[in-house]
Structure 1
Amino acid sequence: MKRVYGLPSHILLTLLTVSCCVGCGGGDKVDLGAVSGVVTMDGEPLSNVIVVFSPEDGNPSSGLTDSEGKYSLSYLGKSDGAIIGKHKVSITTADLSMNETELDSGDADLANADLLDTTNISSPPPEDGDVTKRQPRIKVKIMKEPIPSKYNAKSTLTADVQSGENTFDFQLDSN
């Protein structure tokens, strides 16, 4: 093996590899600020809702409110807090099953259909007589979000997370 500066090349290669690995070890660490607060709607605490802080760049943080509407955020489920900087905030119901409504649909939706119930196929056969083109009337469950979309799907909420402790209280309006 050829020697460079008095060291065998395999030792030089090993030292170079080790120094690269040590230099890259902390690359996934981000600066976080602790975030907590209270969520209310029409003056009442909102329990069991999900609060999500989505930064302009990076992974979001989320938290679940307790019975008093209090939350604290976790980053990637491992660390407390959120990435330092500006965030879009969304608040949504954690358990939509309590807010479901039923809609009678003329279109077959097999994802929500009870495939064992064939007794209520009430649509008439198509005009050409081909019964394979029938569209059964089934009940489709629609999940209704009780929190207005301006706080979740079309959120207008923002927060600027700083280093250290941050408190962001959200007073939502049901209108």
Structure 2
Amino acid sequence: MTCILRMSLKPCLLLILTCCLGCSGGSDVELGKVTGLVTMNGEPLADAIVVFKPAEGNPSTGRTDSNGNYDLTYLGNSPGAIVGKHSVRITTGQPLGEMAGVNADTDFASMDSADTIDISTPPAESEADVTMRRARPKPKKTGKEVIPARYNTKTELQAEVTDGENVIDFDLSID
């Protein structure tokens, strides 16, 4: 009986070991910490969104404070950006027309529950179920984008992120 028990434990332990090794974070990326200052015509640019997009991989984002300073975050919780060359976009987050969907800057707190649309295939459980509807955010009514397109939608900005600390400042101008 002891022999049978030992033989059945070996495959289980091997399976557990294989699973643990397979989930040990083989997809980690090398990040460099990125901070900086964004100015517009020499003045600090407050509440701007800074996006570093690498050639391959996920982008890093940050928002400037009242003094124009930003810190980048990768995938929402890791400080920094992928090491390498990046295309950089800076925007105030103003809408460029009707939003096509929900994004990271959607303000759900100010949404009206009447601003919902029906989902084409409701769940089978109940016709009156609230999961049949999803929120449709309204675009912010804060005005036109003040940052020229050459810094955001048609960006010309580039940056190189290295391992360790990176201080990358941007002085934007309106011509």
TM range (shorter): 0.5 to 0.7
Separation (CA, whole Å) in 2 of partners of 1:92 and 1:160: 20
Structure index of larger Rg? 1
Separation (CA, whole Å) in 1 of partners of 2:11 and 2:160: 45
Structure 1 vs Structure 2: percent identity of aligned residues?
A: 51
Give unpaired runs (5+ residues) of structure 1.
101-140
Aligned equivalent of 1:136: none
Aligned equivalent of 1:69: 68
Output the TM-score relative to the length of structure 1. 0.65
Within-5 A mapping of 1:1-175 = 8=7, 10-24=8-22, 25-94=24-93, 96=94, 143-175=143-175
Q: Would you identify which runs of 4 or more consecutive aligned residues in structure 1 move more than 6 Å?
A: none
Separation (CA, whole Å) in 2 of partners of 1:14 and 1:91: 52
Separation (CA, whole Å) in 2 of partners of 1:142 and 1:67: 17
Which is strand-richer, 1 or 2? 1
Separation (CA, whole Å) in 1 of partners of 2:49 and 2:172: 14
Separation (CA, whole Å) in 2 of partners of 1:78 and 1:46: 24
Separation (CA, whole Å) in 2 of partners of 1:164 and 1:93: 28
Separation (CA, whole Å) in 1 of partners of 2:38 and 2:88: 12
Offset of 1:164 from its aligned partner? 0.4
Offset of 1:12 from its aligned partner? 4.2
Offset of 1:152 from its aligned partner? 0.4
Distance verdict in 2 for CA 1:150–1:28, change over 3 Å: same
How many residues align? The count is: 127
* Code of the aligned partner of 1:174: I
Output the TM-score relative to the length of structure 2. 0.65
Separation (CA, whole Å) in 2 of partners of 1:153 and 1:11: 58
* Code of the aligned partner of 1:80: P
Offset of 1:147 from its aligned partner? 0.3
C-alpha distance after superposition, 1:120-171 (max 9, x if no partner): xxxxxxxxxxxxxxxxxxxxx7952110011000111111111100010001
C-alpha distance after superposition, 1:25-45 (max 9, x if no partner): 213422211000000111111
**Secondary structure at 2:150 match in 1:** helix
Separation (CA, whole Å) in 2 of partners of 1:11 and 1:32: 41
**Secondary structure at 1:67 match in 2:** coil
Offset of 1:17 from its aligned partner? 2.0
* Code of the aligned partner of 2:153: A
Give unpaired runs (5+ residues) of structure 2.
98-140
For the aligned residue pairs, the C-alpha RMSD in angstroms reads 2.5
